[in-house]
Amino acid sequence: MLGAITSPHIHLFYTDLLANHNRYRYKRALEMETLTLDWHGPYKFEQLLKSPELERQFSCPGVYLWKENNSGNESIAYIGKAGGSPTLFKRHLQHYMGYLGGTYLIPKEFRRSSKEWALNLRKNEVVSTIFDLSKFKELVEEGFEYTKHLSIYMAKAPREKTANIERNLLYSINPSRTHWGTKSKPGAEISINHIGTLSDDELQRQNDR
């Protein structure tokens, strides 16, 4: 049977296959959801967490990103979401306390030892630090200082859409300190317009690491 298939038949088969694929892509583009994110910021952790007005404004679900300033070079380092429990505001309180408590990663560029801090009990440095008050105080200071290099941007979004918006932003922007969700396309792609204090041009995909 295979031998009976001539070259014109094969050409016609692949022509039809390509046409069907293009129709599928066109239909998917028409069905793709479009939404607008209105970005607010930049805020520093202290500015945000001390402000009752900002607490009221961001006691809601949404997405956020952080820009990291490393010796004058600024890049988008983190992207996250808050589904409402916690809110955007309370999620950042959790983040801040995570840096002060040693549970969050501190990049090597911001540590005296020039070694990345990650809470892994299989690492000798971690064990020796968390059970030594003087060393732990140094770590708290490093986490405290690192937060000053971060600028926070937030955008409100419906609770049920935050996870998919976050996934789309991770893939489309490729933040430097976040690895999951940056290499493969999201299952449900969204066309996102950016307004407010961040523009579409600022949120182009960063170079692959």
In the chain, what are the domain boundaries?
Answer: 33-203
Query: How many Å apart are CA 128 and CA 118, to the nearest integer?
Result: 13
Runs of H (alpha helix) within the chain: 7-31, 45-49, 52-57, 88-100, 124-130, 133-147, 162-173
Please determine, for residue 30, whether its predicted confidence score (pLDDT) is greater than 70: no
| Residue of 179, 182, 152 whose CA lies nearest to 167 | 182
Quote the tokens at residue 70: 């490393």
In the prediction, which pLDDT does 29 show? 47
At residue 32, the pLDDT reads 77
The residues near 151 (Cβ < 8 Å, ≥ 6 apart) are 41, 42, 43, 44, 66, 67, 69, 74
The CA distance from 160 to 188, in Å, is 13
Residue 52: pLDDT band (50, 70, 90) is very high
Note the pLDDT of residue 68.
97
Give residue 22's pLDDT band: very low, low, confident or very high (50, 70, 90): low
Burial 86-119 (b: 16+ CB within 10 A, else e): ebbbbbbeebbeebeebebebbeebbeeeeebee
- Does residue 107 register a pLDDT over 80? yes
pLDDT in tens, 140-168: 999 999 999 999 999 999 999 999 999 99
**In the structure, what pLDDT confidence band is assigned to residue 1 with cuts at 50, 70 and 90?**
very low
pLDDT above 80 (res 123): yes
Q: Which of 22-36, 51-65, 149-163 has the lowest average pLDDT? A: 22-36
- What phi and psi, each to the nearest 5 degrees, are found at residue 38? -100, 100
**Residue-level pLDDT at 202:** 84
* pLDDT single digits (tens) 176-208: 998 888 888 999 999 999 999 998 888 887 765
